[in-house]
Chain A
Amino acid sequence: MPERVASTAAGDWAPSAVQRDRDEWRRRRTLRSAAIAAASTLLLLGALAGAVVSSPGWDRVRETYFSWDKAVSSFPAVLDGLWLNIRVMAICWVLILVLSLTVAVVRTLRGPVAFPLRLLGTAYVDIFRGLPLLLVIFLLGFGGPALRLQGLPTSPLFWGGTALVLSYSAYVAEVFRSGIESVHPSQRLAGRSLGLSYGQTLRHVVLPQAWRRVIPALMNDLVSLQKDSGLIAVLGVYDAIRRAQIETSLDFNYTPYVVAGALFCCLTIPMARLTDRYARKKGYHGAGGHL
């Protein structure tokens, strides 16, 4: 707990000789650590690169996986496909958040009246966490359009997206539920003691605290969804992976897959850094201070 005092002017203080010594020593140590880190990183990367490049068969590997010309020629198609992945991912993520939060709230309802709802929620989570995602995509993606249900589109994109939403919501619901249950019961009591209803307490007291705690886990699932949005390629949708597959099948050069992989990483890595920053801004901290 930081202690508060009336600040004595910070301006009239100059570090003593001892302190200047310490600061100088710390500065030198920081510099030395940085130099050692840089040197060892370069050494390691250099050794790795050297080992790879000098290994027999490297030429064939480079030609098959890292052909620059092939990368350039396949890039527009793969990028175009990636745009579809991004749209699928964004729309699915919103739906997943809504559905999973609803399921999580339902599963934490108290009282006998809510029993059927809780049962439904539990059954849903159990089933969709148990089913392999690919199986759900096959079931809905190939089976759904064939049903020709009135009012529902037959596009594989729609059914593939539905499969993603159903599967992921089951996982994300559990993330939300763990967050909700990690909020200490005394917070609920404090809310109710002010006259807030159950719902108001949930909305204004419990969920905001739960949300903060589960952000890292949520982002983990979002990153995972970005990749798994590529699974709908099996339905024949022209996403990045499917486009890369087509490009590859022209001459059996696998560079387009590498291009697609690099593009997916370009999506997920910034997302991870962004999450870290958001989390820090929200006041998460790991081990305190310098310890």
Chain B
Amino acid sequence: MSTELLRLEGVRKSFGDHVVLSDVDLSVEPGQCVVLIGASGSGKSTLLRCVNLLEVVDDGVITFEGRDITDPRVDGDEVRSRMGLVFQSYNLFPHLDVIGNVTLALRLVHGVGSEEARTRGLAMLERVGLAEKATARPDDLSGGQQQRVAIARALVANPRLMLLDEVTSALDPELVGEVLDLLGELKDEGVTMLLNTHEMGFAREVADQVCFLHAGRIHEQGSPEQVLGDPQQERTRGFLSRIRA
């Protein structure tokens, strides 16, 4: 009996003739933070979207909490309700205020009453430092604040796994810190995270495991010290030197 929360085996995904992921094996233990790195187009985002069942894999098995979620008989909505996904471009609902964004799934999916949803939503906004913005509209917030709301929205229903898709890439440099600080705190609280990022400093700090993707394959994985500090593969070295240059 494995202790893994998430395991990918031989995952393959293509769009038409375009093979975006092939033969991807990966596992995430509870409480771990696994960071995917790689150039744009290496398949990092697609991998997260496959895990969230936003894309249907062409082959391979994804096991989440001991169940094969790539089985077509599985209820995708139920699986997604146990994960949280944060997008690069926030994707907040502009017609709802902040607390409305955060409590929507609690009320509609998790069957929490309005009162309790509001209490939990406010507590979560407190947690991300935005309690006073509860009635603001997403458009009135800065990018960093919007992204923290998006994290609160994904986190409020206590997902077993948080998926974070380049959550700081759309932010101004001075706003990146507030979001990364929040993620660091979540990691300390034991939230399991699978994320991709171009922030190597952040990866080095919080990752338990770093995976380097190139052309849809995982070329190297291991501790951040190994992969970022002493990469064994030529491609990894090349990528890291371009990032630092």
List residues of A (6-36) whose CB comes within 8 Å of B's CBs.
6-8, 10, 13, 15-16, 18-19, 22, 25-26, 29
CA distance A8 to B14 in the complex (A): 10
**Is B199 among interface residues, defined by CB-CB distance under 8 A?**
no
B18, A289: Cβ atoms closer than 8 Å: no
B22, A4: Cβ atoms closer than 8 Å: no
User: Please, which residue of chain A has its CB at the minimum distance from the CB of B73?
Assistant: A25
**Is B12 among interface residues, defined by CB-CB distance under 8 A?**
yes
B42, A3: Cβ atoms closer than 8 Å: yes
**Is A5 among interface residues, defined by CB-CB distance under 8 A?**
yes
Segment from B50-58, B96-104, B220-228 that makes contact with A: B50-58
Given contacts A10-B17, A13-B12, A19-B59, contact A5 B72 (CB under 8 A): no
Instruction: Give the residue of B20, B55, B56 whose beta carbon is less than 8 angstroms from that of A5.
Output: B20
A8, B19: Cβ atoms closer than 8 Å: yes
**Is B145 among interface residues, defined by CB-CB distance under 8 A?**
no
Contacts of A1 in B (CB 8 A): 45
Q: How many A-B residue pairs have CB under 8 A?
A: 60
Which of under 10, 10 to 19, 20 to 34, or 35 or more describes the interface residues of B?
A: 20 to 34
Contacts of B19 in A (CB 8 A): 5, 7-8, 10, 13
CA distance A4 to B73 in the complex (A): 30
**Is A147 among interface residues, defined by CB-CB distance under 8 A?**
no
Given contacts A8-B215, A22-B71, contact A16 B17 (CB under 8 A): no
A4, B18: Cβ atoms closer than 8 Å: yes
B215, A2: Cβ atoms closer than 8 Å: no
**Is B138 among interface residues, defined by CB-CB distance under 8 A?**
no
List residues of A (114-163) whose CB comes within 8 Å of B's CBs.
none
**Is A285 among interface residues, defined by CB-CB distance under 8 A?**
no
B41, A4: Cβ atoms closer than 8 Å: yes
CA distance A1 to B71 in the complex (A): 25
Highest count of chain B CB atoms <10 Å: which of A5, A18, A290: A5
A22, B18: Cβ atoms closer than 8 Å: no
**Is A291 among interface residues, defined by CB-CB distance under 8 A?**
yes
> Which residues of B are in contact with A by a Cβ distance under 8 Å?
10, 12, 14-15, 17-20, 22, 40-46, 54-56, 58-61, 70-73, 215-217
Contacts of B18 in A (CB 8 A): 2, 4-5, 7
User: Please, which residue of chain B has its CB at the minimum distance from the CB of A25?
Assistant: B72
A19, B58: Cβ atoms closer than 8 Å: yes
Beyond known contacts A15-B58, A289-B55: 4 more, CB 8 A cutoff: A8-B22, A8-B216, A22-B70, A22-B72
Chain B: minimal CB distance from A258 (Å): 46
Contacts of A13 in B (CB 8 A): 12, 19, 22, 59
Contacts of A16 in B (CB 8 A): 10, 59-60
B59, A3: Cβ atoms closer than 8 Å: no
User: Please, which residue of chain B has its CB at the minimum distance from the CB of A29?
Assistant: B72
B41, A289: Cβ atoms closer than 8 Å: no
Chain A: minimal CB distance from B132 (Å): 30
Chain A: minimal CB distance from B223 (Å): 26
B41, A5: Cβ atoms closer than 8 Å: yes
B59, A290: Cβ atoms closer than 8 Å: no
CA distance A7 to B12 in the complex (A): 13
Contacts of A289 in B (CB 8 A): 54-55
CA distance A26 to B70 in the complex (A): 12
Contacts of A290 in B (CB 8 A): 56
CA distance A291 to B216 in the complex (A): 23
CA distance A289 to B13 in the complex (A): 14
CA distance A18 to B54 in the complex (A): 20
A3, B72: Cβ atoms closer than 8 Å: no
CA distance A273 to B217 in the complex (A): 43
User: Please, which residue of chain A has its CB at the minimum distance from the CB of B20?
Assistant: A3
CA distance A186 to B61 in the complex (A): 44
What are the nearest 10 A-B pairs in CB distance? Answer: A19-B59, A4-B41, A5-B215, A3-B41, A8-B19, A5-B216, A3-B46, A3-B20, A6-B215, A22-B72
User: Please, which residue of chain B has its CB at the minimum distance from the CB of A26?
Assistant: B72
Chain A: minimal CB distance from B64 (Å): 16
